[in-house]
Amino acid sequence: MCNETMYDLLYVGIDDTDSSEGMCTTYIGAVVMDELKDYGFKLIGYPRLIRLNPFARFKTRGNGAISFKLVIKSKEEYERAKNLILNCVEELSHLQEENTNPGVVFYKINGVKDYNKEISEVKIQSQLENFSLNAIMNIVSIEESEKLAQEIGAEIVKFKKGRGIIGALAAIGCPLSDKTYELLSYRTPENYGKKRKIKYHSVHEMNKKTYPQTFDNLDEEEGYIAIEPHTPCPILYGIRGETANAVLEAHNMVKTYEPIERIAVYVSNQHTDMHLINSNTISQMEKYKSYITNGTVTDSPHIIEGGHIIFSLEDDSGSIECAAYEPTKGFRNVIKELKKDDKLKVYGGIGEKGTLNLEKIEILEQTKFYKARNPLCKCGKRMKSAGQGKGYKCIKCGFKLRDGVKDLIEVERNIKKGFYEVPPSARRHLSKPLIRIKK
Ligand code: ATP
C-alpha cells in the first residue's frame, strides 16, 4: 500500500517594489519570508535573486527580481499566505514613485511528493523557463507576461501598471545550472540613508580567509570595499560566493558599528554570464542585448572625452564599436594596448548608442609588431647610415656595407594573450568574474 503524503508547492515571485529613493525587493522578500515563517509556513530551499536583462528600460539599478517557494496544505493556507505577502508588498513598496509598479506572481504546483527537491527537479513548465531566459537576454512586455501566466495557470497581482510581473515570473522560472549565492544583511530603518558603519579591516580579513569561495569583496585597484552599496537602500552589505556556507561564514567575520536588522541568503544567477548570447556574426547583433563574439581589431584604440577608450572590431559580416568606459578604470590600460589585426573574443552588451560595452575580453592572437633598425656590423655594433644611397658604416671598426638593408625587429607587446576583465566596481551583476571561469 502506498501511503505517500502529497503537498502543493507555491512559488511566489516579486519585483519592481523599489525606487532610486530607497527600498529593495530583496528586503521585502526577506521581511515577507520571515513573517511567513512566524505564521508557521514551511519555506523550501533558498529564495532566489534573479538578475534580468541589464538593458531593461525601467530598471532602478541592477534589474533584480526575487522568488521563493513554500508548502501549502489547504485552500485557506493559500489565501492566508497570499494576503500576508500582498499586504507586505503594498506596505513596503515605494508606490508613490511613478516608476515603481510592483508585480507579484503565485504559481502553484499541485501534488508534489517530495518538496525538499531543488526547484529545477520539481517540473517547472518549459514555457516559464523559456520566458525567464528571454527576460534575461531580451526585452519582454507586460502583455506577454500576462499571456504566459494565463497559459500556465499562475495568478498575477499588479500594483499600478504591475510591470513587476515580468521579473516576478522570470524569477520563478529561471533555470539555475550554474549558480552563486549572496548573503544580504539589512540595516535598521533609522540608519537608512546614513553612512554605512562597517569595520573595513574585518572585510579585508574576511576576504583573505574566504576568497575565492567568496569574491568581489574588495576592489583592490580602487582600494575600496565592494560589499557595501552606495545607495539609500536597506542593504548594509552583500557578500557573494560559491556556496551558502561560504557566504554565511564570511558574514560571521564581518564586523559593523551599527545593528543588523536581519539577513537573507539568496541563490542567484549572478556572475554566471547567463545574459550573454553566443553570436557568430557581428552584423546580426542588436541593441539592448549582450553577447560573446569573435573579431579582429580594425583600428588602434583611442580615447574620447570622459576618458572612455574606443576601438572597432570586425568579422566577415560587419563591424561594431567597442568601449571600455571610464568606470572600468585599469581595464582601459589593457584596451589601450590593443593593435590593429589583434584577434579577440569580446563579452559585453550593446547599449542605446549601438556601442558594445565591454565586460571582459580574451586576446586570442596578437599581431606581430616590428621596428626597423640599421643592420648589425660583423663586429657586433649596430651600424650608422653612411648617407643617402650610400649604405651603412660602422663607427667602431670602420666596416662599410654598401647594399645593407634594415633589420626588422619584433617589438614585445605590453599585454599578453589571455583574459582581461573590468574591476569589481564596474562589474555587471550577471557578469562572470575570471576567478569563476578559471574554476
Ligand atoms: P533593484 O535591483 O534595486 O531591486 P531593479 O533595478 O531590479 O531594482 P526594478 O525596480 O525591479 O529595478 O524595475 C525593473 C522593471 O523592469 C521591473 O518592472 C521588471 O519586471 C522589468 N523588467 C525586467 N526585465 C525585463 C525585460 N527583460 N524586459 C522588460 N522589462 C523587464
Task: Give 126-148 pLDDT, tens digit per residue.
Answer: 999 999 999 999 999 999 999 99
Cell reading at 374: 640599421
- Interatomic CA distance for residues 351 and 357, integer angstroms: 7
Question: Ligand 1 centre from 15 Cα, in Å?
Answer: 7
Q: Kind and range of the H or E element at 86?
A: helix 75-92
- Report whether 328 contacts 358 (CB < 8 A): yes
pLDDT of 170: 98
Q: How confident is the model at residue 220 (pLDDT cuts 50, 70, 90)?
A: confident
Average pLDDT over residues 356-385: 93
- Interatomic CA distance for residues 66 and 16, integer angstroms: 10
Bridge partners for 225 per DSSP: 218
The residue contributing the CA closest to ligand 1 atom 11 is: 16
Q: Is the CB of 182 under 6 A from ligand 1?
A: no
Lowest mean pLDDT among 79-93, 171-185, 406-420: 406-420
Q: Which residues have CB under 8 Å from 328's CB, separation 6+?
A: 358, 422, 423, 426
Q: How confident is the model at residue 150 (pLDDT cuts 50, 70, 90)?
A: very high
- Report whether 264 contacts 47 (CB < 8 A): yes
Q: Kind and range of the H or E element at 70?
A: strand 64-72
Q: What is the assigned CATH class of domain 276-368+414-438?
A: mainly beta
- Report whether 46 contacts 266 (CB < 8 A): yes
Long-range contacts of 326-331 (CB under 8 A, 24+ apart): 327/425, 327/426, 328/358, 328/422, 328/423, 328/426, 329/221, 329/222, 329/422, 329/423, 329/425, 329/426, 330/221, 330/423, 331/358, 331/420, 331/421, 331/422, 331/423, 331/426
Q: Is the CB of 53 under 6 A from ligand 1?
A: yes
Q: Where in the chain is the domain with CATH 2.40.50.1010?
A: 276-368+414-438
Lowest mean pLDDT among 34-38, 83-87, 368-372: 368-372
Residue 113, pLDDT > 80, answer no
- Interatomic CA distance for residues 132 and 127, integer angstroms: 9
Question: Ligand 1 centre from 17 Cα, in Å?
Answer: 9
Residue 315, pLDDT > 50, answer yes
Q: Which fold, 7-173?
A: Alpha-Beta Plaits (3.30.70)
Question: Ligand 1 centre from 276 Cα, in Å?
Answer: 18
Model confidence pLDDT, tens digit, residues 158-188: 999 999 999 999 999 999 999 999 999 999 9
Q: Where in the chain is the domain with CATH 3.90.600.20?
A: 180-268
Residue 223, pLDDT > 70, answer yes
Q: Is the CB of 167 under 6 A from ligand 1?
A: yes
Average pLDDT over residues 240-260: 98
Average pLDDT over residues 30-51: 97
Q: Which fold, 180-268?
A: Glycinamide Ribonucleotide Synthetase; Chain A, domain 4 (3.90.600)
Q: Is the CB of 289 under 6 A from ligand 1?
A: no
Question: Ligand 1 centre from 356 Cα, in Å?
Answer: 21
Q: What percent of the chain has pLDDT over 90?
A: 85
Q: Is the CB of 179 under 6 A from ligand 1?
A: no
Q: How confident is the model at residue 118 (pLDDT cuts 50, 70, 90)?
A: low
Q: Which residues have CB under 8 Å from 121's CB, separation 6+?
A: none
**Test site for ligand 1: of 136, 166, 288, most ligand atoms within 8 A of the Cβ:** 166
pLDDT of 156: 98
Average pLDDT over residues 35-59: 96
- DSSP letter string over 340-388? TT-EEEEEEEE-TTS-EEEEEEEEEE---EEEEEPPBPTTSSBPEE-ST
Question: Ligand 1 centre from 227 Cα, in Å?
Answer: 22
- Interatomic CA distance for residues 275 and 136, integer angstroms: 5
- Interatomic CA distance for residues 220 and 207, integer angstroms: 11
Q: Kind and range of the H or E element at 209?
A: helix 200-210
pLDDT of 2: 46
Q: Where in the chain is the domain with CATH 3.30.70.2200?
A: 7-173
Average pLDDT over residues 250-254: 98
Residue 372, pLDDT > 80, answer yes
Question: Ligand 1 centre from 135 Cα, in Å?
Answer: 10
- Report whether 52 contacts 64 (CB < 8 A): yes
Q: How confident is the model at residue 123 (pLDDT cuts 50, 70, 90)?
A: low
Model confidence pLDDT, tens digit, residues 191-214: 999 999 999 999 999 999 999 999
Q: Is the CB of 64 under 6 A from ligand 1?
A: yes
Q: What percent of the chain has pLDDT over 70?
A: 97
Q: Is the CB of 60 under 6 A from ligand 1?
A: yes
Question: Ligand 1 centre from 137 Cα, in Å?
Answer: 13
Identify residue 202 by its one-letter amino acid code: S
Q: Say how many C-beta atoms besides its own lie within 10 A of residue 66's C-beta.
A: 29
Which ligand 1 atom is at minimum distance from the Cα of 53?
27
Question: Ligand 1 centre from 93 Cα, in Å?
Answer: 14
Looking up cell 532610486, which residue turns up? 20
- Identify the DSSP state of 190: G
Q: Which residues have CB under 8 Å from 284's CB, separation 6+?
A: 317
pLDDT of 369: 84
Which ligand 1 atom is at minimum distance from the Cα of 99?
10
Q: Which of 257, 145, 131, 110 has the alpha carbon at shortest distance from 198?
A: 257
Question: Ligand 1 centre from 138 Cα, in Å?
Answer: 12
Q: Is the CB of 49 under 6 A from ligand 1?
A: no
DSSP helix/strand/coil, 112: strand
Torsion of Cα atoms, 369 then 374 then 375 then 377, to 10°: -140
Q: Which residues have CB under 8 Å from 131's CB, separation 6+?
A: 140, 144, 145, 148, 169, 170, 173
Average pLDDT over residues 276-286: 96
Q: Is the CB of 24 under 6 A from ligand 1?
A: yes
pLDDT of 343: 98
